[in-house]
Amino acid sequence: MTAEARSGVSPRRRPPSAPMGGARYYLVLFLVLVGMLLLAGRIVTLHVIDRSFLQGQGDARTLRTESLTAHRGMISDRNGEPLAISTPVVTLWANPQEVPEDRIQRLMLAQALNMSPDDLDARLERFSEREFMYLRRQLTPEAAQRVLGLRMAGVYAQHEYKRYYPAGEVTAQLLGVTNVDDLGQEGVELAYQPYLAGTPGQRRVIKDRRGRLVRDLAILREAQPGGELVLSIDQRLQYMAYRELKAAVAEHEADGGVVVMMDARTGEVLAMANQPSYNPNNRAGLDPRGLRNQAIVDVFEPGSVMKPLAMAAIMESGQFDLDVVVDTSPGWMMLDRFTIRDIRNYGRLDLAGILEKSSNIGMSRLVLELDEPLVPELYRRLGFGQSTETGFPGEAVGHMPAPVRWSRSQWAALSYGYGLSVSALQLASAYTALANDGVRMPPSLLRLPEAPAGTPTIDPVIAHNLLRIMEESVQPGTGGRRAAVPGYRVAGKTGTVRKTSASGYEQNAYRSLFAGVAPVSDPRIVTIVMIDHPRAGDYFGGAVAAPVFSRVTGGALRLLDVPPDQRIR
């Protein structure tokens, strides 16, 4: 036993050896350093190596590129009066998965949207698996604010534009319409869609996970507004033409009608009215017939309004002078098993008398004396059977029979306006040749900076002589007397043509026409009037269409400050 044991004193413990304690310390230190190095490496990896990837992932969840709607270009008349403008509207949409299911909140939302709660619930249920649905399209900002003011989760706004037409039904068929996405669907809106639409812009924004805007970051591309379009239409004349046409269609219980007014010097269309029509600002209960711009897309047999044009070809042949007399007795003739008739036996008529009495027999006998098919050749030079090249959607070219099919009866029929089909716009363009020293002006729906060259078509002397003859057809006691305009010299021609169907010519169904020029001393206006199937008694062009011509043309001459060229009797 040791001395310490014997004395009862416990021996002192030895402290841990220095080498053992140092190893643990350095081990812990090593682990800490390794952890710091790994952390630093990870930080470097995230901020340097994977920075672009992670930034992209973050941006994908917060950054958005939104489209900036381009303002659609305005359409105006020749004097700058707006015909089609775009107004700001708000479209409301929702994420059905975020819309609260609380009954009170949904009831408030339905009331603000002017919907029944059941309809709203049904729509939300139908789109419950999606993240997008429309609530209301194209609301006024005030109406949209009533909904947005609820601050309801899952309801968002999208700013758009809606087309508005100040003239309403007066210019409906010419302008056409846009759809809910502001894309042109008819008329000028469709024809010039790329020009009017402009180019949408883009902006970059930050949104939260619910799609709410947090911050605008930058405009990536400014929206480029659409171009402005200036039409040749004069809104004052357009209103007047539409008013008179609508009144005539109602008075005669007709199916519809057309008025085309053209500047004789430039070919610009000053008015183009159609019946029936529709309100492009409210298309509920729309009659599909009202969509058609009949003046351009519909064709018809023109009848006797073609006789002055056929007479131009007859006179240009050099085989007849103004004093030639044609015997139209007995008022009818057989030709290729067809019977050609006048209303009555007019006996012997000179060229002016043939036009004044509108004699089919007289025209037929003159044409059959020609050595060549001069009448159809002139018709082609006047633009019939060809595009008017206005660019209007659905424009009709009409029909001219092929030369190989011409027979004697067909030659005769062409001279009094049967056997071919034309549009009202083509007819107006052809009449500019009579009003413009024999030069036909191509029609234009756009305002022109200057008059085009035109196409010389008729000998100027013959054009002047025909105007004088046609002026006699509008004097008291003639069939066209109702087309007269007090204070102005008017030249024109009536027309009454039977309508056709799949089974041939219809019984007791007619189109009433009048085509004229004013004032004769210095022609400014060419006007075409067509009333389709008048049922209230009268159906002759002189009784139905001529009065419309008188009121429309007379009003236009006064509005355009054209000096009177005739002493009022």
What confidence tens digit (pLDDT) does each residue in 88-124 have?
Answer: 899 998 988 888 988 898 899 999 998 899 999 999 9
Q: What confidence tier does 46 reach under pLDDT thresholds 50, 70, 90?
A: low
pLDDT at 37 over 70: yes
Mean of per-residue pLDDT scores for the chain? 88
- Could you give phi then psi for residue 322, rounded to 5 degrees? -65, -20
Mean of the pLDDT values across residues 300-328?
A: 94
280: pLDDT confidence band, cut at 50, 70 and 90?
Answer: very high
Mean pLDDT of 50-56: 62
Q: What is the pLDDT of residue 373?
A: 87
pLDDT at 11 over 60: no
HEC readout, 509-537: EEEEEEEEEECCCCCCEEEEEEEECCCCC
Task: Return the structure tokens found at 200.
Answer: 């949408």
Cα–Cα distance for residue pair 25/449, rounded to 1 Å: 96
Compare 122 and 55 and report the one with higher pLDDT: 122
- What pLDDT does residue 286 have? 77
Provide the pLDDT for residue 398: 94
Q: What is the pLDDT of residue 543?
A: 96
188 touches 229 (CB < 8 A): yes
Residue 182, pLDDT > 90, answer no
Asked about 304 being catalytic, the answer comes back as yes
The confidence score (pLDDT) of residue 436 equals 95
Please give the structure tokens belonging to residue 327: 């015997």
| Res 248: pLDDT | 97
Look at residue 364 and tell me whether its pLDDT is greater than 60: yes
C-alpha distances (whole Å) from 560 to each of 525, 554, 555, 557, 563 are: 10, 10, 9, 5, 9
State percent of the chain over pLDDT 70: 90
| Model confidence pTM above 0.75 | yes
pLDDT at 3 over 50: no
What's the confidence (pLDDT) of residue 208?
62
Under 8 Å CB-to-CB from 70, ≥6 apart: which residues? 197, 198, 199, 200, 201, 223, 224, 225, 226
Q: Which of 371, 397, 359 is nearest to 313 (CA)?
A: 371
Residues sharing a CB contact under 8 Å with residue 295, sequence separation 6 or more, in sequence order? 173, 258, 259, 260, 272, 274, 423, 424, 425
pLDDT digits (tens, 9 = 90+) for 143-161: 999 999 888 888 888 888 8
Could you give the CA distance from residue 272 to residue 268 in angstroms, rounded to a whole number? 11
- Per-residue pLDDT tens digits for 219-257: 777 778 889 999 999 999 999 999 999 999 999 999 999
pLDDT tens by residue, 488-499: 999 999 999 999
Q: What is the pLDDT of residue 43?
A: 80
Residue 60: pLDDT over 70 = no
pLDDT of residue 482: 96
The pLDDT value given to residue 81? 96
Give whichever of 15-29, 47-61, 96-110, 475-489 has the largest mean pLDDT: 475-489
Catalytic residue among 86, 232, 304, 364: 304
Instruction: Look up residue 204 and give its two tokens.
Output: 């970059």
**Poorest-pLDDT segment among 40-54, 162-176, 251-265, 412-426:** 40-54
Q: Give pLDDT tens digits for 522-537.
A: 999 999 999 999 999 8
Is a pLDDT exceeding 90 seen at residue 404? no
The CA distances from residue 3 to 9, 10, 488, in Å, are 9, 11, 156
Confidence band for 56, pLDDT divided at 50, 70 and 90: low
Residue 401 in this model has a pLDDT that exceeds 80: yes
